[in-house]
Every structure is written in C-alpha cells, then in structure tokens.
Amino acid sequence: MPVFTAIEILDGGEAIALSRADGEKVRFHDIWLRDNAPDPETRSTGNGQKLIKLADIPENISIREASLEGEQVMLRFSPEDKQVSFDQQWLLKHRYDNRKSASRLQTWDASLQDTVPTGHFQDLALHSDALQKWLHDIDRLGFAKMTGGVAQSHALFDVIDLFGYVRETNYGRCFEVRTEVDPTNLAYTGLGLQAHTDNPYRDPVPTLQLLYCIENTVEGGDSLLVDGFRVAERMRAEKPDYFSMLSAFNARFCYEGEAGVSLRSERPMIELNPNGDVIAVRFNNRSCASLVDIPYEKMQAYYAAYRYFAALVDDPEMAISFKLAPGEGFLVDNTRILHARTAYSGTGNRWFQGCYADKDGLLSTLASLENKGIAG
Ligand code: NM2
Ligand code: OGA
Ligand code: ZN
C-alpha cells in the first residue's frame, strides 16, 4: 500500500517533502537519502553492509527529480546522475522529521508481584515463540524468572545458550554463590545483601546476570528485585535536584577482594544519554569507593541524594520477591534491575551458581526471532 499521496522537491533539491493522506508532510534531506540508498552499489545484497564511505557522496549533492511510483519513491541525484528507488513504508518507518519515539521499556514496582514474567526451561528450549516472549519480557521489564531447569552444576550455561554468550570475569565463567570460609566477596556468606547491581566497579559492567538455584533448604535466602529505572523515575519526579546530583557527578566503585585483582570505575550512579533518558543505574553499597569527584560545596547534597536513592531502593513498595527452588533462576538486566537476598542461616544448604552475559546477544536473538534485523 502506498503511504504517501504527493511528493515535492524543497529548497532547490536539498530535500523532499512527502505528503500523507491527512496532509502531514514528512521531509528528508538529499544527503540522508543518498546515504540510505538501498541499491546494490550502495549496500551489499548479501550481508546488508554499506559498500560506500561518506566521502563517496559528492558534497554538492542535490535531488533533481522526484516522483511517486506505486509503493516506491523514485529519486534522481545530481551530480552523480544516480537513480534510486525507496520503499514508501520503509521511509515512513525511518522518518526523522517530527519523529515521535515511544520507549520499549516498562518500569514496574511491587505491584508486579502477581504477574512475574516466567519461562519454563523446556518450553524455552523447544519453542521459539516461548523464547521470544521470554526475551521480550526481559527487554521490556528488565528481568524474567526461569523454572523447570535441572538442579545441576553448570546447568545455568544451558540458559545462556538459549540467547547468547557468557561474559567471563575474574569470578570465572560462572561462580559459586554459597557460604565459604575466607570469602573473597560478601556474596559468598550468609549475610543479607541490599539490593544492588553487580560489578559496578567494572567498566563496562556485565549487562546481564543469571542467578541459578541448585539447592535452597535454608531459612531465609529469599530473592528480591527492584527496578532501578523506576527508582530513578521516582527520584526525578519527587526530588529533581537529587536526581541531577546522581546523574551529573561520577561516583567511584572498587573491588580488591582477591590477590591480583584491582577493579575500579568512575561512573555516575544514574547514567543518562544525550536525550536525558536513564540508560544505566549503578548501586552497590559494598563496592562504593571514596567519592572524590563531587565539589566540596555539593558533597552534603550529594550524600542526601544518595541516601534518598537508597531509601527508595529499600522501600518494600518497589520490590518483588520470591524464593528460588532448585532448577529455578532469574536473569536480570544488570544495568537496570537491582537484586537482593535476605540473610540465611540454620540447617540446610544454599547453593546458587551465577554467571554474567551481555545484552547485545540477547537483543540480537530477540530481534531476529521478531524477524526484524537492526537495519530493518
Ligand atoms: N559475585 C557473586 O558485584 C559484586 O561484587 C556482587 C559478585 C562475587 C560474582 C557479587
Ligand atoms: C550475587 C548475589 C544473591 C543471592 O551473587 O551477586 O547478589 O541470592 N547473590 O545469593
Ligand atoms: Zn549480586
């Protein structure tokens, strides 16, 4: 179906305006159109990669002819005298003139408790639609639970294999989360752990974490999750000045718990992109290093903001919780979701394994299951 009803050349060939049925006009520049030409001299038909460099496009480019032909837009560029045809649907989808962008993300709080996204391992392994839904939930909500796995050492790798690749670190390809003598990390004790993101002292941080339960017969040891993006959203609404503090200054994180390892990072607790959207949170009371990037005049206010953020993180209204059974686990976006555990003790055993992975693989698998390549 054609989506445009008329076309005109603007500003002596510098741009075109395409009209929609309701009269709205969508403009595109000559250089943008030429750069995005889909013809086989511009883009490889085999792998979709671009064959030209920007310097191959003449600086004095302009659009000499423009017409609507069926579902296509036909353009002729000078001085190359090159004719290119664009799909109208494709142009509409890739508009930048007055683009309205809606976020894929959906933040949540404790009210998600009754609808925790969960996939059954066999289902995920055998049915691509189940896997697609599970990955989609992780993309949208920042996490999902998994049930029905085997309660065996290294079974967590089968979960990662569903969508991507393990990120190996100084903690190993995977790590044992259980009480140890002389623990190199407080995670390897029975202590409760305040909600946190893992490894903020690493740059780049692992963007995914999988925690997988093999044994859990102790008293306590429940898992809690908090949406760090919802915490940041609340902070922005309730205390905009505090929000600015945590996003405008670098915090510092470090880990030096084992010989030969000295990991340090300098990054804000709330990280923004150029649009002002929150793209990452880093919060880990155990790994916060001395803060030295905040000017004297602002330090008290910074600590007030940090305290406020921490109080929101601890607010039961923000958390969902569950106790993992053997063969169950959860996968979190470690740039967004904070995880916690309650202290455990008494008789019985608690043995989890964890591993890191990255979102690039997950999002790539999701996009290809949804049958829309990145460029598409
Ligand atoms: N472990 C479980 O980021 C952290 O230090 C949390 C990480 C040791 C790999 C614990
Ligand atoms: C961790 C962690 C939580 C748990 O290992 O990073 O947060 O439930 N563990 O043991
Ligand atoms: Zn952790």
Type and span of the H or E element at 63 = strand 62-69
Burial of 304 (0-12, 13-18, 19+ CB in 10 A): middle
Q: From the CA of 368, how far away is ligand 3's center (Å)?
A: 30
Mutational test site, ligand 1, from 168, 169, 175, 335, max ligand atoms within 8 Å of CB: 175
List, as one string, the DSSP characters of 166-223: EE-BTTBSSEEES--SS-SSGGGSSS-EEEE-S-TTSSSPPSEEEEEEEEE-SEE--E
- Nearest C-alpha neighbor of 71 from the set 94, 87, 92, 85: 87
Mutational test site, ligand 1, from 156, 167, 171, max ligand atoms within 8 Å of CB: 171
- Residue 64 near residue 77, CB atoms below 8 Å: yes
- pLDDT classification of 372: cutoffs 50, 70, 90: low
- pLDDT classification of 347: cutoffs 50, 70, 90: confident
pLDDT at residue 1 in the model: 84
List, as one string, the DSSP characters of 47-59: T--B---GGGS-T
Nearest atom in ligand 2 to the alpha carbon of residue 196 is 7
- Nearest C-alpha neighbor of 57 from the set 73, 37, 28: 37
Give 51-84 pLDDT, tens digit per residue. 999 999 999 999 999 999 999 999 999 999 999 9
pLDDT of residue 94 exceeding 70: yes
Nearest CA owner, ligand 1 atom 7: 198
Q: Whole-angstrom Cα distance, residue 344 to residue 346?
A: 7
- pLDDT classification of 231: cutoffs 50, 70, 90: very high
Nearest CA owner, ligand 2 atom 3: 341
Largest CA distance in the chain: 81
Give 275-334 pLDDT, tens digit per residue. 999 999 999 999 999 999 999 999 999 999 999 999 999 999 999 999 999 999 999 999
pLDDT at residue 374 in the model: 43
Q: Is the CB of 198 under 6 A from ligand 2?
A: yes
Give 103-142 pLDDT, tens digit per residue. 999 999 999 999 999 999 999 999 999 999 999 999 999 9
Q: Whole-angstrom Cα distance, residue 30 to residue 173?
A: 49
Q: From the CA of 120, how far away is ligand 3's center (Å)?
A: 23
pLDDT at residue 144 in the model: 99
Q: Is the CB of 232 under 6 A from ligand 2?
A: no
Q: Whole-angstrom Cα distance, residue 84 to residue 82?
A: 6
CB atoms within 10 A of CB 83: 13
- Nearest C-alpha neighbor of 302 from the set 338, 248, 228, 229: 248
Q: Is the CB of 187 under 6 A from ligand 1?
A: yes
Phi, psi of 66 (to 5 degrees): -150, 130
Segment 23-42 shows an average pLDDT of 98
Q: Whole-angstrom Cα distance, residue 197 to residue 207?
A: 10
Q: Is the CB of 328 under 6 A from ligand 2?
A: no
Q: Is the CB of 198 under 6 A from ligand 1?
A: yes
Phi, psi of 77 (to 5 degrees): -100, 140
Q: Is the CB of 354 under 6 A from ligand 1?
A: yes
Q: Give the pairing type, strands 319-322 and 223-227.
A: antiparallel
Segment 261-266 shows an average pLDDT of 98
Q: Is the pTM of this model over 0.85?
A: yes
Phi, psi of 266 (to 5 degrees): -130, 100
Q: How far is CA 208 from CA 13, 89, 237, 335, in A?
A: 47, 35, 28, 8
**Residue bearing tokens 């009210």:** 111
CB atoms within 10 A of CB 335: 22
pLDDT of residue 207 exceeding 80: yes
Nearest CA owner, ligand 1 atom 5: 199
pLDDT of residue 173 exceeding 80: yes
Which value, in Å, is the radius of gyration of the alpha carbons in the chain?
A: 25
